[in-house]
Structure 1
Amino acid sequence: MELVAAATRRQQTHGDAIMLCVGQPSTPAPDPVRREVERVLDTHTLGYTEARGTRQLRTAISDHYARHYHLSVDPDEIVVSNGSSGGFSTVLLAAFEAGARIAMTRPGYPAYRNTVRALGCEPVEVVCGPETRFQPSVEQLEALPERIDGLIIASPANPTGTIIGADELAAIAAWCEANDVLLLSDEIYHGIGYGRPMSTAWATSRNAVVMGSVSKFHSMTGWRLGWNLLPAHLTRPVELLQGNLSICAPAVSQAGAVAAFTPESESELVGHVERYARNREVVLQRLPELGVTSFAPPDGAFYAYCDISHLTDDSQQWCLDVLDRTGVALAPGIDFDPVDGNRFMRLSFCGSTEQLNEAFDRLATVV
């Protein structure tokens, strides 16, 4: 976020900033969503909703799992949240006591580590590299020196874009269930993939928590709307906490999100993924121009996590210098890996193909 602030200043002073540092689609919400919001603004009061979310939206999410995963999900097993981030915090509060040990990958999304620590729990980092496609394995979990209470996984993952295969995900979910470990499966990038299939943790274990969101595939980041699929023992506690902490997710976002799950919206959104796929090819072709030959295979999402040890051993300062010299904003790896991330950077390719090529032109001249 410091890079975002610096890039914003750069845009104000130079007008040439290219934001490859944020995982935010450059496209608006689907047209059916915008039309539905216009309609409800004219016809509805849009007051508080049920704490767990409107029945209409939870039914739309339930139908989504039936269509895309062939899963039967009761709308009452779903709690809608203020973004997946809000749902993540609420689930942590409901499921764990202070001092609980919660495992997560390194590299990984920094808010996992920071939120777990802020709520009085202990992050347990599982170091993951190319040999496991930057994802945890059952063998690694078995080898942890102390018992864990929870495990956070993400597929596709941020910052690496890697996907956990169906068999591996099933094995992890089964291990968690057998060892009384609560699995939290972050699936907010589902729908954005490049030929490698995606599975959900609920295909194996209904004792897991599945986190979803309209932010990424549905191109609705600022609408702050997510959801959790919850095991029976957590549904009521999460609902009560949601009602106390935020009353409900934004009513206008909930109304619009119902339309996000329609075939018309999904047809529009598939077009975005096709553009991400073209951008991914640009990234794979042009990274060698920067001397970057080692990076996580971007199976999904819209990130490349790149080894830049031939350029720097201080990724944060390097990203600031690159921004200053080129106007291209990249995310320093130290954000995702506080130990080894000083030699990595994350590049986001969810913007326009033209801007992405322009960014590589500028980077190539500097490097």
Structure 2
Amino acid sequence: MTEQPADGLMPFHAMEILKCAKIIEATGRSVCHLEVGEPGAPPAPRVIEAVAKALPLAQGYTNAKGLTELREGLANYYATQHAAVVEPESILCTMGSSAGFIIAFHTAFRPGARIAITRPGYPAYVNTLLGLGFGIAEIPLDAANGWKLTGADIAAAHADTPFEGLLFASPANPTGAAVDRAELADIVATCQRLGVRLISDEIYHGLDYRGPSVSALELTREAIIINSFSKYYCMTGWRIGWMVLPDELIRRAEILQQNLFISAPTLSQIAATVALGERDYAEQQKAGYARNRQLLNNGLQTLGFDIGSPSDGAFYAYAGISRFSNDSMSFCEALLDEAGVAATPGIDFDRAGGNRYVRFSYAGTQETIEMAIERMGRFLQQAG
């Protein structure tokens, strides 16, 4: 699973581990799934009801930008959650955040432009940029600083290797690090001073455990905002997300959407429109993640993993494994084969230093977390 072609494109190892886990489950063995960032709960019941009702009729394309009702609902979301004024015409509904990244890159940058990302960071950033022919500048982050990006980090990286864009997530995958309003303002101001276009990945918004999520829209209208219903609203497989675009980029993004994807799935847009009104349900799921967050963090510390305080947001624990191994891929393969616990090797998120880390997702059930900790304890005892 570790072959690397000449262009640097690599597998998404979380999905590779999931594939192997499914093969193991097909033999009758159970697996504790801590490898993928996928909520264990389904969408809110009213979402399912609305889709079932719409199913006989909702078979055609929508407007390329998306259903008017959904875009109006998203505009209201920004008004109520972030006190930000966003026109529905500035919003583009996408096939998950993944399509949003593709549209953002081709909308805002010329072919071959260099875009900065953090390391560690979401692996699809690297692979999507490479696959589309863009250049990359990596900004290394440090556990000692809570894995948080600063304006000084951006400026130093830009002075070393200039770049035209910055793709940044808060809360972040895999670390769960989240910046507060002042820290985000520092990032926004630095990008503006350097002439760098900010793409703010806000897919884990709502899943902050230390305060409200802060959108870049609260600070600037020059950033491209990307978000999704996958995480907070428990809708991963529905493949529905959205973008908020600066005025000068709206038309180009719409044209790209028309040609690359036509429109987001109609039923998923209907589901998303209803989901926006089901925040009480989403908050119930978040409360479960919060319990799992503490449970997993305590368990990993007891087992000897190198991990500090629980993550600020999202639903991940990024744990050091130096006490056990210096090869995160081999460690995760053995953990799956011998203990039936699926986790993601750190090399997915950091090709330079990720061999010393493993990411665990706590988005599943409490029972899964408890069983995984018990199994890992036996595995590490036998390995030691």
TM-score normalized by the length of structure 1: 0.97
Structure 2 Cα separation of the partners of residues 24 and 45 of structure 1: 26
1:186 and 2:201 are equivalent in the alignment? yes
Identify the residue that residue 19 of structure 1 maps to in structure 2.
Answer: 33
Look up the SS of the partner of 2:27 in the other structure.
Answer: helix
1:343 matched residue in structure 2? 356
State the alpha-carbon separation in 2 of the partners of residues 147 and 5 from structure 1.
38
In the alignment, the residues of structure 2 paired with residue 197 and residue 104 of structure 1 have an alpha-carbon distance, to the nearest angstrom, of 24
- Measured after TM superposition, the shift of residue 329 of structure 1 is 0.4
SS in 2 for 1:143: helix
The separation in 1 between residues aligned to 2:357 and 2:92, in whole angstroms, is 36
- The 5-angstrom pairing of residues 282-361 of structure 1 reads 282-295=295-308, 297-361=310-374
Give the SS at the match of 1:80: strand
Instruction: Return the alpha-carbon distance in structure 1 between the equivalents of residues 297 and 304 of structure 2.
Output: 12
Give the C-alpha shift of residue 131 in structure 1: 3.3
Matches within 5 A, 1:1-367: 1-42=15-56, 44-144=57-157, 145-262=160-277, 265-295=278-308, 297-367=310-380
Identity, % of aligned pairs?
40
Q: Structure 2 CA distance, aligned partners of 1:324 and 1:61?
A: 44
Secondary structure (helix, strand or coil) at the match of 2:60 reads coil
CA contact (8 A) 2:39 2:363 kept: yes
Deviation string 1:281-310 (CA, Å, 9 cap, x unpaired) is: 101221123201334741111000001011
Deviations 1:45-77 (A, max 9, x none): 431111011111000111111111111110011
TM-score by length of 2: 0.93
Deviations along 1:115-164, whole A, 9 cap, x unmatched? Answer: 11111111100000123321221111111213210001101100001101
The SS at the match of 1:152 is: strand
Residue deviations 1:15-37 (CA, integer Å, cap 9, x gap): 31111000000111111111111
- Relative to structure 1, the CA distance from residue 182 to residue 224 in structure 2 (aligned partners, 3 Å threshold; closer, same or farther) is same
- In the TM superposition, residue 267 of structure 1 has moved relative to its aligned partner by 0.9
- In 2, Cα distance between equivalents of 1:109 and 1:159: 7
Three-state SS of the structure 1 residue aligned to 2:39 is coil
Residues 1:355 and 1:147: Cα distance change in structure 2 (over 3 Å): same
Deviation at 1:14? 3.4
Gapped regions of structure 2 (runs ≥ 5): 1-14
SS in 1 for 2:249: helix
- The whole-number CA distance in structure 2 between the counterparts of 1:58 and 1:204 is 21
Please state whether the residue corresponding to 1:325 is helix, strand or coil.
Answer: helix
Counterpart secondary structure, 2:281: helix
Answer yes or no: is the 8 Å Cα contact 1:48–1:251 preserved in 2: yes
Residues 327-365 of structure 1, C-alpha deviation per residue, up to 9 Å, x if partnerless?
A: 100100011000100010000001110111011001011
Please tell me the residue identity of whatever aligns with 1:286.
G
Cα pair 1:52 1:248 within 8 Å, conserved: yes
Aligned-partner Cα distance in 2 for 1:238–1:48: 18
Alpha-carbon shift at residue 41 of structure 1 (Å):
1.6
User: CA shift at 1:95, angstroms?
Assistant: 1.2
**Within 2, Cα distance between the matches of 1:88 and 1:125?**
17
CA contact (8 A) 1:161 1:296 kept: no
The CA distance in 1 between the partners of 2:179 and 2:300, in whole Å, is 24
Deviation digits for residues 58-108 of structure 1, max 9, x if unmatched?
001111111111111100110110101001111101111122111110000
Cα distance, 1:195 vs structure 2: 2.1
Aligned length: 364
Cα shift at 1:176:
1.2
- The C-alpha deviation readout for 1:241-280, integer Å capped at 9, x for no partner, is 0000110000010011110011xx1111111001001101
Q: Which moved more, 1:227-236 or 1:11-20?
A: 11-20
Give the aligned CA root-mean-square deviation in angstroms: 1.1
Once residues 295 and 313 of structure 1 are traced to their aligned partners in structure 2, the CA distance between those partners, rounded to angstroms, is: 19
Tell me, in whole angstroms, the C-alpha distance in 1 between the residues paired with 2:209 and 2:378.
30
